[in-house]
Amino acid sequence: MIISMTGFGRSEGTFKGRKYYAEIRSVNNKYSDIGLRYPRQFASYDPELKEIIRKKISRGKISVTITSENQEASAGIMNMEPGIIKKYVSDLKKLNEAVGSDEKIKLEHIISLAGMFSPEAVTETNDSERKFLFKLLESAVIDLNKMKKKEGDSLKKDISDRINFIKKESERISALSNGKADLVRKKLREKINSILTDKKLIDENRLETEIILYSERIDITEELIRLKSHLKYFTDNIKSDELSGRRLNFLVQEINREVNTIASKSMDAEISQKSVEMKEELEKIREQLQNVE
């Protein structure tokens, strides 16, 4: 099954007058790398939030942002914390004294410091809010996977088209190579006979052995059989219900190995050219598979 590692998902909901948003982004990565950002009251749920994601996404670099918008706070009502403000002023005065500065402490100096203004006090979460939060994240993951599946369908079509091209080219190579070893063996014997006028100098048994060994070295039958098997296995994995990104990457390496061997053993210019074209398609497939989960 082909599913892209790239996608975006979003969900939102309201719990007791507070609106929550969950956004999740995923890009390609060799392993599972999950990063979470959320309001501080949800820190204790970090392992459970990551587990929700791992159950639905096997790998990729995943970034999750959970935010809340209090309806009163969004209207501009803020709680000031006087104790923190006084402490900042005191610390700024001490800093002035330490560096020997007589600069006056201004309002902009204070408001540039974090922490003295905050939204309404954060309350502890309860079980019902916990369940709401988990459901919110699950909805975002489902939305993400819809996009990944859609992108995966496009990747599947492109990869399948390229694999079909390689299949057809391998069949043409098989037809071109049919009987090629016997023909080379015959031409080689004719060439030797034309060079050596005194046939008594030839050890027929040794000559036949050397010709057979040479013809076997240029025979690509075994490579074509393995190539056909790899291509079939590749196609089967694309159609299966299992995530197969890693397996497909391995198969591309094996297919490329067989094509390289065919190119190196072949004595035919047309077969060599077709091998080059197959390798070009394999490289494009390899690039596409970098984004497959």
pLDDT, tens digit, for every residue of 257-282?
999 999 988 778 899 999 999 999 99
State mean pLDDT over 22-26. 97
| Closest C-alpha among 5, 2, 8, 4 to residue 143 | 8
Confidence of residue 219 (pLDDT cuts 50, 70, 90): confident
Q: Check residue 63 and give left, alpha or beta (phi > 0: left; psi -120 to 50: alpha).
A: beta
Distance of alpha carbon 259 from alpha carbon 123, whole angstroms: 64
pLDDT at 107: 73
Average pLDDT in the chain: 83
Residue 69 predicted with pLDDT over 90 = no
pLDDT at 182: 66
Confidence of residue 226 (pLDDT cuts 50, 70, 90): very high
Which of 104-118, 174-188, 275-289 shows the lowest per-residue confidence on average (mean pLDDT)? 104-118
Confidence of residue 169 (pLDDT cuts 50, 70, 90): very high
Q: Where in the chain are all domains bearing CATH 3.30.230?
A: 7-75+126-148
Highest mean pLDDT among 84-93, 118-127, 137-146, 244-253: 137-146
Largest CA distance in the chain: 114
Architecture of domain 7-75+126-148: 2-Layer Sandwich (3.30)
Local structure of residue 121 (DSSP, 8 states): P
Burial (0-12, 13-18, 19+ Cβ within 10 Å), 74: exposed
pLDDT at 176: 86
Could you tell me which residues come within 8 angstroms of residue 34 by beta carbon, excluding any fewer than 6 positions away?
50, 53, 54, 62, 64
Residue 73 predicted with pLDDT over 50 = no
Cβ contact 6:148 at 8 Å: yes
State mean pLDDT over 90-119. 72
State mean pLDDT over 80-99. 77
Burial (0-12, 13-18, 19+ Cβ within 10 Å), 96: middle
Cβ contact 58:32 at 8 Å: yes
% of residues, the chain, pLDDT over 90: 51
Distance of alpha carbon 16 from alpha carbon 56, whole angstroms: 28
